[in-house]
């Protein structure tokens, strides 16, 4: 970045993984200068470099927040930083701490932890009266023992940080809980030890997600969907992951959209994009809050949402971030169709999906060792029919299974 660049504000984006190009492009389309901070190993990815004023490499060594803060401070010495945005799950707290360091408006670290730390989000939600599975911090032995005596098995052990079902495991025996805690405490990395985990009542049932945009404390857009199989089952057992929009006007949709509003208000969410997950218990039919993140959902959720509504979450998130008192955010008109996605690991590096030629296909996944299709239709029944067909054909023609990842630390 040149020191004699005209003094227009800069948006600093933080991304430890490759995602968010449409966010970067929308900022550039609106005349905003963008600086991206990413890890050295991500420099070779196909970033939207035409939208960037600068691309700063953060060394691939453990240093965490300090390295990002140092890089952001160097940017701020030469230009006025107006926003700091985390494009990825693992950067939410880092970006919040950088905001506080630079005195930039936006979500602070305390609120940001509620959208990354599963223990913090559960505690806050519970205190606000949002229903969730009973849980305990895997910290104090006496409290854990009380939990085990009060809550019948099975239980699920979860890392406090991490996306999807990474590092989770179901435990059915009390002795196994103490054994697991001891094994975690023996690990060299403190970020993987028992206090960085929680134990929770395992609830079986269908898993739902609500993807939403908020501006100035008000949810301005939300879409509810359901996974074909729970993400935990796919992550740990393999299979074809599917998701589709819920039937418009259904009781499920109304309940989830209302629950999402209550949740975001309880957690203090003001502006941006959020991806929340809920489970409907198979035994009691009740909805339970599972987790929420201040980011665009993974597994091509953004494409599923756009197929159903025409709303691109990355693009609208950028517009929310760039809104001001003089130019407040306005949501563009949205369609009320249905979207769906089917995706899985593949046995081939670049699977050929040309045989799939349904006119409803709006997006084909182009990622090594993956296969995926996104569809959009005015018909709920047609969307469900296509996904059922793709799930069966993917399993027969492409499906590969890999061991579940234990921790994100190996990637960071």
Q: Which residues contact 134 (CB under 8 A, 6 or more apart)?
A: 147, 150, 151, 200, 201
Q: Which residues contact 251 (CB under 8 A, 6 or more apart)?
A: none
Q: For the chain, how far is it from start to end, CA to CA, in angstroms?
A: 26
Order of strands, edge to edge, in the sheet holding 81-86?
54-58, 33-39, 10-15, 81-86
- Cis check for the bond before 154: say yes or no (omega within 30 of 0): yes
* pLDDT tens for each residue of the chain, 412 residues long: 545 445 678 999 999 999 999 999 999 999 999 999 999 999 999 999 999 999 999 997 665 789 999 999 999 999 999 999 999 988 999 999 999 999 999 999 999 999 999 999 999 999 999 999 999 999 999 999 999 999 999 999 999 987 656 689 999 999 999 999 999 999 999 989 999 999 999 999 999 999 999 999 999 999 999 999 988 888 878 899 999 999 999 999 999 999 999 999 999 999 999 999 999 999 999 999 999 999 999 999 999 999 999 999 999 999 999 999 899 999 999 999 999 999 999 999 999 999 999 999 999 999 999 999 999 999 999 999 999 999 999 999 999 987 666 555 544 5
Q: In the Cβ-directed half-sphere of 234, how many Cα atoms lie within 13 Å?
A: 22
Rounded Cα distance between 301 and 271, Å, is 19
Domain 134-201, architecture per CATH: 2-Layer Sandwich (3.30)
In this predicted structure, what is the pLDDT of residue 233?
Answer: 87
Order of strands, edge to edge, in the sheet holding 241-245?
287-293, 272-281, 205-215, 218-227, 241-245, 338-345, 370-377, 361-364
Q: Which residues contact 250 (CB under 8 A, 6 or more apart)?
A: none
Rounded Cα distance between 192 and 195, Å, is 8
3-state SS assignment for residue 235: helix
pTM score: 0.93
Q: Which residues contact 312 (CB under 8 A, 6 or more apart)?
A: 22, 302, 306
DSSP string, 169-234: EEE--HHHHHHHHHHHHT-SSGGGSGGGEEEEE---EEEEEEEEEEETTEEEEEEEEEESS-HHHH
Give the other-Cβ count within 10 Å of 399's Cβ.
17
Rounded Cα distance between 61 and 275, Å, is 29
Q: In the Cβ-directed half-sphere of 341, how many Cα atoms lie within 13 Å?
A: 25
Superfamily grouping for domain 205-397: ATP-grasp fold, B domain (3.30.470.20)
In this predicted structure, what is the pLDDT of residue 114?
Answer: 96
Q: Tokens representing 256?
A: 């989830």
Q: Tokens representing 353?
A: 């999906």
102: left (phi over 0), alpha (psi -120 to 50) or beta: alpha
In this predicted structure, what is the pLDDT of residue 5?
Answer: 47
The whole-angstrom distance between residue 108's C-alpha and the CA centroid of its chain comes to: 18
Name the class of domain 10-113.
Answer: alpha beta
Q: Beta strands 33-39 and 54-58: pairing type?
A: parallel
Residue with token string 């998701």:
243
Hey, where are the domains in the chain?
10-113, 134-201, 205-397
Cβ(287)–Cβ(259) below 8 Å: yes
Cβ density class 69-101: b for 16+ within 10 Å, e for less: bebbeebbebbebbbbbbbbbbbbbbbbbbbbb
Do 10-113 and 134-201 show the same overall fold? no
In this predicted structure, what is the pLDDT of residue 237?
Answer: 82
- Give the residue among 165, 220, 160 at the shortest CA–CA distance from 191: 160
In this predicted structure, what is the pLDDT of residue 9?
Answer: 84
Q: Which residues contact 388 (CB under 8 A, 6 or more apart)?
A: none
In this predicted structure, what is the pLDDT of residue 7?
Answer: 63
Cα distances (Å, whole numbers) of residue 25 to 33, 50, 58, 319: 10, 8, 22, 11
- Give the residue among 369, 361, 368 at the shortest CA–CA distance from 387: 361
Give the other-Cβ count within 10 Å of 232's Cβ.
22
């Amino acid at each position: 970045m040149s020191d004699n660049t005209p003094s227009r504000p800069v948006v600093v984006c933080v991304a430890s993984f490759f995602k968010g190009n449409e966010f970067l492009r929308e900022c550039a389309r609106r005349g905003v200068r963008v600086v991206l901070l990413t890890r050295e190993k991500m420099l070779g990815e196909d970033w939207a470099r035409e939208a960037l004023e600068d691309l700063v490499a953060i060394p691939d060594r453990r240093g965490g927040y300090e390295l990002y803060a140092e890089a952001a401070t160097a940017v701020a010495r030469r230009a006025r930083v107006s926003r700091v945005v985390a494009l990825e799950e693992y950067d939410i707290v880092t970006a919040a701490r950088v905001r506080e360091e630079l005195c930039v408006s936006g979500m602070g670290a305390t609120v940001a932890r509620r959208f990354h730390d599963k223990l913090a989000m559960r505690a806050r939600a519970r205190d606000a009266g949002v229903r969730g599975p009973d849980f305990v911090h895997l910290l104090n032995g006496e409290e854990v023992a009380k939990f085990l005596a009060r809550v019948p098995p099975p239980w699920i052990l979860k890392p406090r940080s991490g996306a999807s079902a990474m590092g989770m495991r179901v435990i059915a025996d009390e002795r196994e809980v103490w054994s697991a805690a001891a094994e975690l405490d023996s690990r060299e990395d403190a970020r993987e030890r028992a206090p960085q985990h929680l134990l929770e009542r395992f609830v079986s049932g269908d898993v739902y997600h609500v993807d939403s945009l908020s501006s100035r404390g008000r949810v301005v857009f939300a879409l509810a969907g359901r996974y074909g199989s729970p993400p935990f089952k796919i992550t740990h057992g393999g299979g074809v992951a599917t998701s589709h929009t819920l039937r418009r006007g259904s009781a499920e949709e109304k309940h989830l959209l209302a629950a999402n509003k209550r949740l975001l208000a309880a957690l203090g969410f003001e502006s941006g994009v959020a991806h929340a997950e809920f489970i409907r218990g198979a035994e009691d039919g009740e909805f339970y809050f599972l987790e929420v993140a201040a980011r665009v959902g993974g597994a091509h959720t953004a494409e599923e949402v756009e197929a159903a509504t025409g709303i691109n979450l990355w693009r609208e998130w950028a517009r929310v971030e760039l809104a001001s008192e003089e130019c407040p955010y306005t949501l563009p008109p949205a369609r009320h169709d249905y979207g769906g996605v089917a995706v899985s690991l593949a046995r081939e590096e670049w699977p050929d999906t040309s045989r799939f030629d349904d006119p409803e296909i709006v997006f084909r996944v182009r990622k090594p060792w993956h296969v995926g299709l996104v569809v959009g239709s005015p018909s709920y029944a047609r969307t469900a029919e296509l996904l059922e067909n793709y799930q069966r054909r993917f399993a027969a023609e492409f499906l590969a299974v890999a061991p579940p990842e234990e921790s994100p630390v190996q990637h960071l």
